[in-house]
């Protein structure tokens, strides 16, 4: 490709006339996307705060899309496709974990100058994050009250509350694959948050102790562990970013802030996959 006077020529085949063709901006609806940032203050750093949270919401939308597909793949006994989806969601969480480093450049004095304009707006009210938690097993029916003013969001969460989780789908897949999943597990009330069930430990121990015979199941177990680790690292980085920015102030939504986020670290989606590690080789 010729370069004249430091300028690279446009290749002959490159399209330049979009009067009757869809272009990049049109396909991605960039006019809408890039005009969706509406700072309330005139502070220089408020766009950073808005964009960081909006991009996280876009990634959460993809995570939820993929987790629904993972559940469907497991229902169809297509564990290979399910594993691909789990890997993608893991990388989504790794990506939004790294995003905290950008928001962490917002110093306490900078944030304090526009924090007041947020009112009671808080990440606690992210219905997409709550949806991801629900589909992974951390269900809490009381959270629906938070979204009474948003019927569409509340409806989506209600649907997920009454639906099996990814873990439920995985355990049902294991049952159909010949593993001794107890009947009470397969028939549990899916509206409830998952609580560790010791009766599953022998099942997972058998899978881990003979990986050659149960490779697909073993690999899927490790994918689930990878995903939980990625979510926990995201939670931890969230906590540390909040702590360095506002210290121990109350959250804008009324939560206890850092202490509330610390308690979230105790929540686990697939506890048996961690507990079984104590059994292996013992």
Question: What radius of gyration, in Å, describes the C-alpha atoms of the chain?
Answer: 23
Helix axes 166-176, 127-136, angle to 10 degrees: 20
Q: Which residues are annotated as a binding site?
A: 111, 115, 238, 252
Q: Give just the sign of the alpha carbon dihedral 30, 31, 32, 33.
A: positive
Please give the structure tokens belonging to residue 176. Answer: 């159909």
Looking at 24-118, list the stretches that DSSP marks H as alpha helix, in order from N- to C-terminal side.
24-27, 30-33, 46-75, 79-103, 108-112
What ranges make up the beta strands (E) of the chain?
Answer: 3-4, 7-8
Start-to-end Cα distance in the chain: 65
Q: Which residues are annotated as a binding site for substrate?
A: 111, 115, 252
274-278 long-range Cβ contacts below 8 angstroms, 24+ apart? 274/225, 275/196, 275/201, 276/201, 276/204, 276/205, 276/208
- Cα–Cα dist 132/231, whole Å: 10
- Cα–Cα dist 91/85, whole Å: 10
C-beta of residue 161 within 8 angstroms of C-beta of residue 139: yes
Distance of CA 229 to the CA centre of its chain: 12
Q: Which residues are annotated as a binding site for heme?
A: 238
Q: Rounded to the nearest 5 degrees, what angle is found at the Cα of 248, between the Cα atoms of 245 and 254?
A: 100
Q: Which residues pair with 7 in a beta bridge?
A: 4
């Amino acid at each position: 490709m010729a370069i004249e006077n430091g300028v690279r020529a446009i290749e002959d085949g490159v399209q330049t006339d979009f009067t009757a063709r869809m272009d990049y901006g049109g396909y991605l609806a960039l006019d809408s996307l890039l005009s969706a940032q509406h700072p309330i203050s005139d502070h220089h750093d408020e766009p950073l705060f808005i964009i960081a949270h909006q991009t996280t919401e876009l990634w959460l939308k993809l995570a939820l899309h993929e987790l629904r597909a993972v559940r469907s793949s497991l229902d169809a006994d297509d564990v290979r496709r399910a594993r691909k989806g789990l890997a993608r969601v893991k990388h989504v969480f790794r990506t939004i974990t790294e995003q905290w480093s950008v928001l962490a450049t917002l110093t306490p004095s900078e944030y304090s100058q526009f924090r007041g304009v947020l009112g009671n707006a808080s990440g606690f009210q992210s219905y997409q994050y709550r949806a991801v938690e629900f589909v992974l097993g951390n269900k809490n029916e009381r959270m629906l009250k938070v979204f009474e003013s948003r019927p569409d969001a509340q409806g989506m969460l209600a649907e997920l509350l009454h639906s099996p989780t990814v873990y439920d789908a995985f355990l049902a897949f294991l049952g159909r694959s010949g593993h001794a999943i107890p009947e009470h597990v397969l028939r549990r009330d899916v509206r409830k948050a998952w609580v560790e069930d010791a009766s599953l430990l022998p099942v997972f121990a058998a899978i881990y102790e003979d990986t050659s015979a149960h490779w697909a199941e073993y690999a899927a177990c490790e994918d689930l562990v990878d995903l939980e680790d990625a979510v926990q690292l995201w939670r931890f980085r969230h906590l540390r970013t909040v702590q360095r920015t506002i210290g121990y102030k109350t959250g804008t939504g009324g939560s206890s802030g850092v202490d509330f986020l610390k308690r979230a670290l105790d929540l686990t989606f697939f506890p048996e996959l961690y507990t079984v590690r104590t059994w292996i080789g013992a």
